[in-house]
Structure 1
Amino acid sequence: MAALLDNLAASFDQQLAYKDRDLVQAQALLANIQAEIIETQKAVDMFNQQAAELWRPMKEA
Structure 2
Amino acid sequence: MPISRLAAFKHRVLPRLRRGLDQRVLIYVPEFYDLEELRLLFKTESLDFCYINE
Normalized per residue, the structure richer in helix is 1
TM norm structure 1: 0.27
Q: Which has the larger radius of gyration?
A: 1
Greater RCO structure (CA 8 Å; 6+ sep): 2
